[in-house]
């Protein structure tokens, strides 16, 4: 049977046909399909807004192949007290993903930031047991249902004063860096099917902080591997800030260094802080799109890169507009950080993503 152009676009949107580059096709095809043609899984973080906003929910289903809970699987959200596990939000997101044919990532099992008050009060001697219990219970609850888990999130912070640049917090205070190895050991035992990920920030920047974290992260990957622990992928957040020094070529060298260590690479939290751009919305959006395109074009040249996840899909839901973030970063205007605007209309950043996916060499 002869396929019409409409038939082809329908199949392409479902990810069932290879894409042939054209401006019209790029506008018609979903980001999910454009990414998938070269082996990339594209998706977004989501929380309650996925259920509160019907139009936004439809956009996510149309454009994404994977979702990531922005809060529902974090320790402080899951564990309101020492004895409870609040799986409701995570379970709801997973049920939604399954119903829509989407994959889902787990984010995040162990993180030194944002510990609940009860954990901060717990005797340090009890934290190894609490870590074991948490990892085993949560991993078992979702065993085989998720594409991957961020087992440890942001182990480093370059301006911290812990030896080796490690991020301090209850887990580090109780066990030092060994909490990382313990978490991966327990996670692998609890769920042998789900991919285990070490997720980190800062590495997209080429200032003294970013370079320090790159060095520390490579050393940690070697240590995890040397201990015979399973590490399937490295997640790199990529919260782009054009006001901070960057060098995409050196970032690619870093990605190749990870690739040589036998791990997959995920871009896990892509967005852009456009505060340093001036001009109208249109001018800011163009500059942001150019930066995202250039960054992603370089990153996609590395074969080990298999996933790109934006930290939200539309500006109305960017974390950069949260009051605490506005205050901390001293932002004086609302960020335009994501591929779609407040009205859920595509921006130049959406075109930048599409172009980068289209131009990837297969």
Domain annotation covers residue 227? yes
> What stretches of 15-119 adopt beta strand conformation (E)?
41-46, 66-69, 103-110
The CATH number linked to 102 is 3.20.20.80
Domain annotation covers residue 17? no
Q: Residue 73 pLDDT more than 50? A: yes
> What stretches of 161-246 adopt beta strand conformation (E)?
195-200, 233-236, 239-240
Q: Looking up tokens 């990339």, which residue turns up?
A: 40
Look at the chain and report how many structural domains it folds into: 1
How far apart CA 259 and CA 8 sit, in angstroms, is 35
For 124-150, the pLDDT digits (tens) are 999 999 999 999 999 999 999 999 999
Domain annotation covers residue 10? no
Domain annotation covers residue 56? yes
Domain annotation covers residue 13? no
Q: Tell me, what's the pLDDT at 107?
A: 98
Domain that holds residue 125: 33-359
Domain annotation covers residue 225? yes
Q: 185-202 as b/e, with b when 16 or more CB fall inside 10 Å?
A: bbbbebbeebbbbbbbbb
Domain annotation covers residue 4? no
Question: Is the pTM above the cut of 0.85?
Answer: yes
For 142-183, the pLDDT digits (tens) are 999 999 999 999 999 978 778 899 999 999 999 999 999 999
For 16-66, the pLDDT digits (tens) are 333 344 454 566 799 999 999 999 999 999 999 999 999 999 999 999 999
Domain annotation covers residue 292? yes
Q: Tell me, what's the pLDDT at 295?
A: 98
Q: Tell me, what's the pLDDT at 158?
A: 77
């Amino acid at each position: 049977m002869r396929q019409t152009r409409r038939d082809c676009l329908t199949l392409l949107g479902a990810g069932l046909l290879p894409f042939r580059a054209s401006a019209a096709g790029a506008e018609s095809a979903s980001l999910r399909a454009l990414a998938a043609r070269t082996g990339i899984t594209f998706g977004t973080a989501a929380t309650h807004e996925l259920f509160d906003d019907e139009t936004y929910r439809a956009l996510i289903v149309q454009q994404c192949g994977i979702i990531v809970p922005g809060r529902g699987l974090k320790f402080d959200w899951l564990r309101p007290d020492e004895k409870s596990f609040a799986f409701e939000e995570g379970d709801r997101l997973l049920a939604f993903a399954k119903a829509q044919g989407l994959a889902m990532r787990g984010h995040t099992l162990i993180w030194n930031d944002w510990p609940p008050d009860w954990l901060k009060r717990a005797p340090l001697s009890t934290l190894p047991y609490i870590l074991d219990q948490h990892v085993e219970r949560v991993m078992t609850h979702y065993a085989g249902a998720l594409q991957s888990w961020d087992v440890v999130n942001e182990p480093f912070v370059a301006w911290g004063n812990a030896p080796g640049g490690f991020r301090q917090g209850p887990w580090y205070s109780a066990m030092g860096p060994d909490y990382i190895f313990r978490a991966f050991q327990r996670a692998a035992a609890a769920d042998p099917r789900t991919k285990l990920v070490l997720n980190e920030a800062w590495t997209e920047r080429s200032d003294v902080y970013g370079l320090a974290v790159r060095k520390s992260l490579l050393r940690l990957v070697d240590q995890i591997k040397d201990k015979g622990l399973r590490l399937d992928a490295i997640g790199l957040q990529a919260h782009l800030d054009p006001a901070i020094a960057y060098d995409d070529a050196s970032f690619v060298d870093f990605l190749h260094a990870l690739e040589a260590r036998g791990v997959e690479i995920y871009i896990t939290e892509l967005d852009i802080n456009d505060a340093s751009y001036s001009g109208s919305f249109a001018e800011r959006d163009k500059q942001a799109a150019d930066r995202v395109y250039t960054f992603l074009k370089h990153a996609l040249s590395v074969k080990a890169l298999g996933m790109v996840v934006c930290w939200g899909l539309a500006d109305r839901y960017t974390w950069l507009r949260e009051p605490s973030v506005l205050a901390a970063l001293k932002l004086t205007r609302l960020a335009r950080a994501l591929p779609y605007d407040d009205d859920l209309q595509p921006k130049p950043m959406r075109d930048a993503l599409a172009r980068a996916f289209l131009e990837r060499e297969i």
